[in-house]
Amino acid sequence: MALRQLLSPLLFPAATLSTSTASSSIRLRTSPLFLQQLIQPLLYTPIAIPAAIRIGVPSILAEIWESILRAVPKKKTSHRKKRQRFLAGKGLKDVTALNKCSACGNVKKAHVLCPFCVNDIRKLWNRGSHNNSQSGFQSKQYLTTHTIDHAHPTDIYALATTPTQILSASGSSSILVHSTNDPEFPLSQTLEKAHKLGVHHLTTSRNGKVAASVGFGGELKIWSEEDGKWSQSREIVDSNKPGEIWAIALSADGQYLAATSSDGRINVWDNLADGAKIREFETKGSFGMSIDISVDGRFTASGHENGGIYIFNNDTGRLFHSLPGLVRSVRAVAFSPGGKLLAAAGESKVIALYDVSSGEQVAILTGHGAWIFSLDWSDTGEYLLSGAFDGKAKVWSIDHRTCVATHAETEKTLWSVNWLPKTGRNEGFATGGSNRSISFYREATGG
Ligand SMILES: *[C@@H]1O[C@H](CO)[C@@H](O)[C@H](O)[C@H]1NC(C)=O
Ligand SMILES: *[C@@H]1O[C@H](CO)[C@@H](O)[C@H](O)[C@H]1NC(C)=O
Ligand SMILES: *[C@@H]1O[C@H](CO)[C@@H](O)[C@H](O)[C@H]1NC(C)=O
């Protein structure tokens, strides 16, 4: 039986979904157990996929859930274990190498920064953060301005913005559109039944006129905006079996759409030419987990499960750079607005910056303690926003190659983080993830 047929009667009654958490016990009583097993893994915990395999989910989809969404890093050593190690004398080391800090004269461990000085510097930084006229390094402060709790009935996998709206997509079938012009972020449109099995990727063009979405059923849809309302303009039916198309990106003007596939191919379609495929790039066959198109539309970058990162040139139709990739899966790639840098991140927990023209790695930003799922450049290219498995969102200063703000309001995975259109002089961003809420942040005006 096809997965879609199996799921559709249960997935679509909106009521079943929207009350799912509160009434899971009720649903257990009213629907067949095997369907519970199937739906639960798909919608709530991406872990229990074996249950779904048993009843014949297309194996490629199962594999995707296994490898992509089962984002459970290795267990940390428990406190009990740690204590036992310490009790057994294994964790303790004598601190022998001590010296005096040359700056403040306090005794400190050799080869580490002096804790006294670090504290002083930290205090200075904190003072500096309230002074916007100060030049040089400073941390930034963002305040939560609004949260749409339970925006979606399941994990929010993707957020995408336009100059006036934020679109969101989740494991349920609808895409939601909220207005960003109003501080309350009111719902302005619901694209119902956009993808029956839910949506795993959603993106918008920079000019805000075109959106694209990929469903768990394998469908790839293009949407267009007119007077603030979205409607489906096209469905790209190429070879899309479930899982065939994974990550997607649109060019700034919405003309080009690029997508990765599970077998490592990168396809590019031209929206103006009736969605004709204009490019098909080959890689070494590792799952394409992330993709981006440069603002000028000339370059397409892809990040892969095996850590590989490639940049393709649209003009020549060829591979431009095979970058020194990351050690582990690359779950996000993003070109800077000026097109000079490419940022890449994922299971290595670091963000690598590459020079696009030379293909050289120019920086590694460290600080996240968990897998990174999402990256977004600010409009000016000064800041990079990242979101991670442990619920932390970070803002990085590109000039200073350092983290200037960390937000940890949730411990649930952040699948997507996005800068918001600038209103006034303050920059803000939105986050969405496993806790099903969309949260909005604005930079605090210091002074
Ligand atoms: C902010 O920084 C500038 C330049 O360093 C300094 O002149 C000014 O006094 C500072 N203002 C406050 C409120 O600390
Ligand atoms: C990309 O390549 C196609 C096919 O050669 C061409 O028509 C198009 O103009 C190119 N786009 C850009 C932005 O260079
Ligand atoms: C979800 O996480 C956001 C931060 O990303 C937080 O502001 C919000 O309160 C959380 N909502 C719930 C219901 O836990």
Q: Which ligand is nearest to the CA of 128?
A: 1
Output the CA 265–ligand 2 centroid distance in Å. 18
What average pLDDT does the segment 351-377 reach?
96
For the CA of 408, the nearest ligand: 3
Angstrom distance (rounded) from CA 432 to CA 447: 30
Predicted pLDDT at 50:
37
- 348, burial (CB in 10 Å: exposed 0-12, middle 13-18, buried 19+): buried
Cα–Cα separations (whole angstroms), residue 157 to 43, 78, 175, 201, 288: 11, 30, 11, 7, 17
CB of 134 within 6 A of ligand 1: the answer is yes
Residues 6+ apart with CB under 8 A from 106: 100, 114, 116
Ligand nearest to the CA of 431: 3
Q: What percent of the chain has pLDDT over 90?
A: 58
* Ligand 1 pocket residue status of 84, Cβ below 6 Å: no
Q: Which ligand is nearest to the CA of 409?
A: 3
Atom of ligand 1 nearest to the CA of 127: 14
CA of 133 to the centre of ligand 1 (A): 6
Cα 138 to ligand 1 centre (Å): 12
Ligand 1 binding pocket mutation candidate from 123, 126, 131 (most atoms within 8 A of CB): 131
Cβ-count burial 371-382 (b if 16+ within 10 Å, e if not): bbbbbbbbeebb
Q: Which residue has a Cα nearest atom 7 of ligand 2?
A: 278
Question: Which pair of tokens denotes residue 95?
Answer: 């601190």
Phi-psi category of residue 274: left, alpha or beta, with phi > 0 → left and psi -120 to 50 → alpha = left
pLDDT tier at 7, thresholds 50, 70, 90: very low
314 alpha carbon – ligand 2 mean position (Å): 6
Q: Assess contact for 67 and 76: CB atoms under 8 A.
A: no
Pairwise CA distance, residues 73 & 197, whole Å: 26
Residue 105: pLDDT band with limits 50, 70, 90: low
Could you identify the atom of ligand 2 that is nearest to the CA of residue 251? 13
The token pair at 260 is 């990765």
425 burial level (CB within 10 Å; 0-12, 13-18, 19+): exposed
Look at residues 337, 340, 310 and name the one whose alpha carbon lies nearest to residue 322: 310
| Substitution site in 272, 277, 278, 335 for ligand 2 pocket (most atoms within 8 Å of beta carbon) | 278
For residue 166, what are the CA distances in angstroms to 186, 189, 211, 416? 10, 11, 11, 12
Q: Ligand 1, closest atom to CA 131?
A: 1
From ligand 3's centre to the CA of 430, what distance in Å?
11
Q: Is the pLDDT of residue 120 over 70?
A: no
229 beta partners: 226
CATH superfamily of 138-443: YVTN repeat-like/Quinoprotein amine dehydrogenase (2.130.10.10)
Mean pLDDT (whole number) for 124-140: 56
Sheet with 229-235: strands ordered across: 199-204, 210-215, 220-226, 229-235
410 CA distance to ligand 3 centroid (A)? Answer: 6
Residue 315 alpha carbon to ligand 2 centre in Å: 6
pLDDT of residue 192: 95
pLDDT at 81: 60
Whether ligand 2 lies within 6 angstroms of the CB of 316 is answered as no
3-state secondary structure the chain: CCHHHHHHHHHCCHHHHHCCCCCHHHHHHHCCHHHHHHHHHHHCCCCCHHHHHHCCCCHHHHHHHHHHHCCCCCCCCCHHHHHHHHHCCCCCCCCCCEEECCCCCCEEECCCCCHHHHHHHHHHHHHHCCCCCCCCCCCCCEEEEEEECCCCCCCEEEEEECCCEEEEEECCCCEEEEECCCCCCCEEEEECCCCCCCEEEEEECCCCCEEEEEECCCCEEEEEEECCEEEEEEECCCCCCCCCEEEEEECCCCCEEEEEECCCCEEEEECCCCCEEEEEECCCCCCEEEEEECCCCCEEEEEECCCCEEEEECCCCEEEEEECCCCCCEEEEEECCCCCEEEEEECCCCEEEEECCCCCEEEEECCCCCCEEEEEECCCCCEEEEEECCCCEEEEECCCCEEEEEECCCCCCEEEEEECCCECCECEEEEEECCCCEEEEEECCCC
Probe residue for ligand 1, chosen from 125, 130, 134 as the CB with the greatest number of ligand atoms within 8 Å: 134
Which sequence spans correspond to the domains of the chain? 97-137, 138-443
406: which strand partners? 394
For ligand 1, the distance from its centroid to the CA atom of residue 447, given in whole angstroms, is 9
In this prediction, residues 52-75 reach a mean pLDDT of 45
pTM over 0.85: no
For a ligand 3 pocket test, name from 21, 143, 147 the mutation site with the most ligand atoms within 8 angstroms of its C-beta: 147
At 273, the pLDDT band (50, 70, 90 cuts) reads confident
For tokens 């899966």, what's the residue? Answer: 329
Mutate to test the pocket of ligand 3, among 386, 389, 410, 429 (most ligand atoms within 8 A of CB): 410
What confidence category does residue 421 fall into, taking pLDDT thresholds of 50, 70 and 90? confident
Is pLDDT at 136 greater than 70 in this prediction? no
User: What span, in angstroms and rounded, lies between the C-alpha atoms of 357 and 174?
Assistant: 40
| Residue whose CA lies nearest to ligand 1 atom number 11 | 131
Angle at 115 between CA 113 and CA 121, to 5 degrees: 90
Q: Would the CB of 133 count as within 6 Å of ligand 1?
A: yes
Residue given tokens 């004269």 in the structure block: 105
Q: Using one digit for the tens of pLDDT, what is the confidence trace for 190-212?
A: 999 999 989 999 999 999 999 99
pLDDT score for 218: 87
Ligand 2: does its nearest atom lie under 6 Å from the Cβ of 314? Answer: yes
For helices 3-11 and 33-43, what crossing angle results, to 10°? Answer: 90
Rounded to the nearest whole angstrom, what is the distance from the C-alpha of residue 131 to the centroid of ligand 1?
6
